Amino acid sequence: MKKVIFYLIDDETTLADPLLLPHEKLACQTIVTHWQQGQRILVACQDQQQAEKVDEYLWQQEPDRFVPHNLVGEGMKGGSPVEIAWLGKRSNGNRQLLINLQESFPEFSTVYRDIIDFVPFESRLKALARERYIAYKNVGFNLKTININKAE
């Protein structure tokens, strides 16, 4: 079963960070968690600048939260367990999980069984997330939304 989990951010204060936007910071936290669970991950960024911010943030993690990663085109053949790409750049290897930070629906997403996406607090980005939600649904993904600011 193919599934997409959307993380809904309705309060940015819990994710405040001088380097990253709240949904970028949450994406990085998610990368660490899923890599520690043994998954190979592709992080699909909007542009090279965002990819470099995510890359830098991951390098700044504490040793027990270190994630072997690289920007697309760098590193060993097949890429490291976590690869960070952006529009116009393709991944070097197979990945189990797609973490999407792109504003539009990633056309290549249908090759993934599991996707994590985000609904940022900012209105324009929230509207784009709604469009992605519809696109994922139209290609047959099961969808789940988790509000990260509310206890379940």
DSSP string, 38-58: T--EEEEESSHHHHHHHHHHH
Q: Edge-to-edge strands of the sheet including 69-71?
A: 69-71, 82-86, 41-45, 97-100, 114-119, 3-8, 142-147
Task: Find the range with the poorest average confidence among 11-15, 40-44, 59-63.
Answer: 11-15
Q: Which residue has the higher pLDDT, 138 or 90?
A: 138
The model carries a pTM of 0.93
> CB under 8 Å to 25, separation ≥6 — which residues?
15, 17, 57
| Average pLDDT rounded to a whole number, residues 93-116 | 93
Does the pLDDT at position 152 exceed 50?
A: no
Give the per-residue pLDDT at 50: 97
Domain ranges of the chain: 3-147
**pLDDT one-digit tens code per residue, 46-76:** 999 999 999 999 999 999 999 999 999 887 7
Give the per-residue pLDDT at 85: 94
Rounded Cα distance between 129 and 7, Å, is: 10
Identify the DSSP state of 96.
S
Rounded Cα distance between 57 and 15, Å, is: 14
Q: Which residue has the higher pLDDT, 139 or 13?
A: 139
Q: 42: number of CA atoms within 13 Å, CB side?
A: 28
Does the pLDDT at position 30 exceed 90?
A: yes
Q: Which CATH fold topology does 3-147 show?
A: Rossmann fold (3.40.50)
Task: Find the range with the poorest average confidence among 13-17, 126-130, 138-142.
Answer: 13-17
From residue 146, how far is each of 40, 48, 114, 117 by CA, in Å?
A: 22, 28, 15, 10
Q: Which residue has the tokens 């989990």?
A: 5
> CB under 8 Å to 47, separation ≥6 — which residues?
86, 87
Alpha helices of 64-109 — where are they, by DSSP H? none
Does the pLDDT at position 151 exceed 70?
A: no
